[in-house]
Amino acid sequence: MRERLILLPGWAIGPAALEPLREALLERAPHLAVEIEPLPALDQAGAWLDELDARLPEDSWLAGWSLGGMLAAQLAARRGDACRGLIGLCSNMSFRDRDDWPCAMSQEIFAAFYEACRLDPAQTLKRFTMLVAQGARDARTLARQLQVTQVPGEPKVLDAGLRLLDVLDIRAAIQGFGGPQLYLFAGRDALVPATAADALLDWLPDVEVQVFADASHGLPLERPEEVAAAILGFMREGDDV
């Protein structure tokens, strides 16, 4: 039976932005089944995890970009042994800072972004792609790629995703998940500070962490070949892919 890897995109990131990573994975491991699944298009934030659990096949590896990685962590914890392993791509333990997790976006900046999205979603989405690409070797090209692959979202769905980013704290989930875990961070990430990588290792030394020093939050699209190599190397440690 072929091993299966599920890829989840991030907030306001179209599934097509993960296609270069999927192609890079299949080029190196053609016998691996790699599927890109969109995030739920629901306006009730609390229903997103249940919808993913109902839709995604069990006995798979789960990988997610930013919010997708945070939801993958929650789903892995829920499924336990029915999840082969967990991979976070530029996914923080908490997207916004907390008293006991300061290595994140400040609450003030997040609140301002949230309000801007409510007032002018289209302009905010364009600004978001620029933030995702900020720090990349070719930020303009990466931002354009993100804009081309971006799927217009309903304002209520965008709002629900931001509410999840505001409240999610996945530390209990990853601490409770017994399977292998890999977290890839970017050194020039404008949305998830690279200091979150050291903070994660200090808090939970058993997980694997890698930082791509000269990369942006758009890491999976910016550096698909290197990300694919890191993912497959990690998967092979626990199983033959």
Q: pLDDT tens digits, residue range 62-121? A: 999 999 999 999 999 999 999 999 999 999 999 999 999 999 999 999 999 999 999 999
Average pLDDT over residues 153-177: 96
Instruction: Name the H helices within the chain.
Output: 19-28, 48-55, 67-79, 107-119, 121-133, 139-149, 155-167, 171-176, 195-203, 219-222, 224-238
User: Per-domain residue ranges for the chain?
Assistant: 4-238
CATH of domain 4-238: 3.40.50.1820
> Taking all residues of the chain, what is their mean pLDDT, rounded to a whole number?
96
Q: What is the pTM of this model?
A: 0.96
Distance, CA of 206 to CA of 204 (rounded, Å): 6
Of the two residues 240 and 91, the one the predictor is more confident about is 91
Catalytic residues: 66, 189, 217
Q: Transcribe 8-46 into DSSP letters.
A: E--TT--GGGGHHHHHHHHHH-TTSEEEE-PPP--S-GG
The per-residue pLDDT for 241 is: 45
C-alpha 105: how far from chain center: 15
Return the number of other C-beta atoms located less than 10 Å from residue 211's C-beta.
16
End-to-end Cα separation, the chain, in angstroms: 11
Q: Give me the mean pLDDT over the 138-160 stretch.
A: 94
Q: How far is CA 216 from CA 11, 32, 153, 192, in A?
A: 16, 27, 23, 9
Instruction: Kindly indicate the confidence band of residue 238, based on its pLDDT and cuts at 50, 70 and 90.
Output: low
pLDDT of 37 reads 98
Where does the pLDDT of residue 49 fall: very low under 50, low under 70, confident under 90, or very high at 90 and above?
Answer: very high
- Mean of pLDDT values over 11-33: 97
- Three-state DSSP class for residue 72: helix
Residue 237 has pLDDT above 80, yes or no: no
Closest CA to 164 of 91, 101, 237, 235: 91
